[in-house]
Chains A and B, each alone.
Chain A
């Protein structure tokens, strides 16, 4: 019991530290690809501390609650994700709970955006939901294929079944699902070529446009946690998770850096092109993966 409580406190903090480290690392690696030096890896932390000291402007009670809801959603999802042998809420729900709870973050964002009353926010939010529609379909297929293959909805069981290099990415039915998930991963994380929601050059950062001071700091924390969730889920579902945090972290790092390289060499999709793409290739692979998983079972 005490261990569970300690895990509950430690795992969000660990997720935050890793997410922020990834944010800093991404700035450094992107800078090197751009042929410049880039800021220190601690820059996101420095920014957040600075933002907490700044004056923040609220646009009403829902504006505040939306930010909190968004952050809560992310923290709760983290409690369900096994992280190197640590999973505080392993007994309950598993994958299905994660699926539901992952919707909390965009909802919170929409809630506070509605109160912000900036046209850029409304456009950003509508883009967010259209994009979710695009990637949730293949995502659902992927999850279904995995649940069919391992005959369980518990993510802990799935990780356990993959122990000893029996990773799902090495089994044929789930390889297709892994490809599909990897293609939609940038859309889930909101990075290029799917950074349509924030799109600074089009809608001035979209939902983030009215955030300043503490709100922006919370949004950055949320972003860091979101980065952790998307990649950790991939590692757990396809790369066999890990028994100790270090291995898990290294696996996450590999996935993240590959994603970063994709981020560096692509411009941004237009929203309808993104939907067209997402409903074509990833959905095709995910659906095929589901069929194969059903047949092979």
Chain B
């Protein structure tokens, strides 16, 4: 191959790119010499917009921060408001919130198996997982009325109780999904070509991952057992029994395998929730939302979204609108710092799946 340096634009219009994101690559031969991540195609200015809307009006905004995994944003915003206002959430609502969280995690992981398989040029697994994701989206539509954005979780609980037949339908869909997962293993996760392509690619050490602010699968793939669901349990997670999958290698393969293993855990969590869920109210009444003045104060709440640690810093000056709302999305360090670091020296063929293995959601990076 020649030694000319070429500039390659990987996105925003590129068949290997998922989401409105772009990477500018400098390549020599088949190797990437330098990579620059360009977010900025999806800037909607949510942080500022939220300062001009009353507390409750921000729910349709927060869920749009991450298209693939919108529910954690609703929950964390509700958690922030509850902490400022000192509202206690009913037990049943906590379980329902956990179910919604895990369904959202499952949908997000399934979508990402598609994205990753697509980056390896393997569309069979992608079409299967996207098909299965649709069942979960149907389920969320049945529960909330919305397919992608649900706006279901509110300060003080959830909007309404589970509809009749929701439990049976969910368990049935989980059974279907569990029946399909071994097929995924046969075709993709145990596929020798996937292992050869992904193992040892884009390795990151434990120290580097911590230093660059990695969370979620990126950090857990390096052997750190970090999950906010265990560290600072919220919703119904303290009452549930589940494992945190951890791997040691820190490469693209282990990150993807973690996503696969977490799906088993999510299914088990949802089943436990249905078993342990108490009867009772799902909503703690809050004052008239349009006149509601949340007490003065500031707070930082955090939780585990599908991609890693999601944080929210929120300041109230005692007005009917928030003074400052700032999110710490997990994809920000993954999508800029770690991506640029890991792409250096990679093969062009690997650019796509390195990016997908970091589980980067472009709308999260930009907001």
CA of A270 to CA of B201 in the docked complex: distance in angstroms? 12
Residues of B within 8 A of A35 (CB): 127-128, 131
Q: Confirm or deny: B39 has a beta carbon within 8 angstroms of a beta carbon on chain A.
A: no
Whether B272 sits at the interface, judged by CB under 8 Å, is no
Give the residue of B15, B123, B347 whose beta carbon is less than 8 angstroms from that of A205. B15
Q: Which of B16, B27, B131, B350 has the most CB of A within 10 A?
A: B16
List the A side residues contacting B6 at CB < 8 Å: 119, 122-123
Contact partner of A203 among B119, B187, B194, B348, CB < 8 A? B348
In whole angstroms, how far apart are the Cα atoms of A196 and B2 in the complex? Answer: 18
Q: Would you call A297 an interface residue if the criterion is a C-beta within 8 Å of the partner chain's C-beta atoms? A: no
Instruction: Evaluate contact between A269 and B193: CB separation under 8 angstroms.
Output: yes
Q: Contact check, A265 vs B15: say whether CB atoms are below 8 A apart.
A: no
Check if B16 sits within 8 Å of A204, measured CB to CB.
yes
Which chain A residues (242-283) contact chain B, with CB distance < 8 Å?
A: 264-273
Inter-chain contact A204/B14, CB cutoff 8 Å: yes
Chain B neighbourhood of A119, CB < 8 A: 6-8, 27
Residue-by-residue, is B116-160 near A (CB-CB < 8 Å gives 1, otherwise 0)?
011111111001100100000000000000000000000000000
Closest residue of chain A to B121 (Cβ to Cβ) is A268
Compute how far the CA of A147 lies from the CA of B174 in the bound complex, rounded to whole angstroms.
58
On whether the beta carbons of B30 and A200 are closer than 8 Å, the reply is: no
On whether A266 and B193 interact (CB within 8 A), knowing A201-B16, A204-B14, the answer reads yes
Distance between B299 CB and nearest chain A CB, rounded to angstroms: 42
CB contact under 8 A between A202 and B348, given known A267-B117, A271-B30? yes
Q: How far is the CA of A123 from the CA of B129 in the complex (A)?
A: 31
Known: A119-B6, A270-B197, A273-B197. A202 touches B351 (CB 8 A): yes
Residue pair B127, A267 in contact (C-beta under 8 Å): no
Let me know if A196 and B131 touch, CB within 8 A.
no
Query: Is the beta-carbon distance between B15 and A200 smaller than 8 angstroms?
Result: yes
Partner of B194, one of A34, A200, A267: A267
Partner of A123, one of B30, B119, B123, B350: B30
Nearest Cβ in chain B — how far from A126, in angstroms?
5
Least CB distance, A212 to chain B, in whole angstroms: 14
Q: How far is the CB of B29 from chain A (nearest CB, A)?
A: 8
Residues on B with beta carbons closer than 8 Å to the beta carbon of A202 = 16, 121, 348-349, 351-352
Are B193 and A34 in touch, CB under 8 angstroms?
no
Q: Cβ of B119: which chain A residues have Cβ within 8 Å of it?
A: 201
Query: A202-240: which residues lie under 8 A (CB-CB) from chain B?
Result: 202-205
Chain B residue nearest to A268 (CB atoms) is: B121
Cα separation A126 to B1 with both chains bound (whole Å): 7
Which residue of the partner chain, among B2, B191, B351, contacts A266 with CB atoms under 8 Å? B191
Whether the Cβ atoms of A267 and B349 lie closer than 8 Å is no
Contact A201 B193 (CB under 8 A): no
Complex interface: chain A residues within 8 A of B191 (CB): 265-267
**Closest A residue to B127 using CB positions:** A34
Q: Is B127 within 8 A of A271, CB to CB?
A: no
Tell me if A120 counts as interface (CB < 8 A to partner B). Answer: yes
Across-interface contacts of A33 in B (CB, < 8 A): 124
Q: Does B196 contact A (CB under 8 A)?
A: yes
The CA of A35 and the CA of B131, in the complex, are separated in Å by 8
Contacts of A149 in B (CB 8 A): none
**Complex contacts, A120 vs chain B, CB 8 Å:** 8
Interface residues of A (CB under 8 A from B): 30, 33-36, 119-120, 122-123, 126, 192-193, 195-196, 199-205, 264-273
The 4 closest A-B pairs by CB, nearest first: A201-B16, A34-B127, A268-B121, A267-B122
Residues on B close to A: CB < 8 A?
A: 1-2, 6-8, 14-16, 27, 30, 117-124, 127-128, 131, 187-188, 191, 193-194, 196-197, 347-352
30 contacts between A and B (CB under 8 A): A30-B124, A34-B123, A34-B124, A35-B127, A36-B127, A119-B8, A119-B27, A123-B6, A123-B8, A123-B30, A126-B1, A126-B2, A193-B193, A195-B121, A200-B15, A202-B121, A203-B348, A204-B15, A265-B124, A265-B187, A265-B191, A267-B121, A267-B188, A267-B193, A268-B193, A269-B193, A270-B347, A271-B347, A271-B349, A273-B196
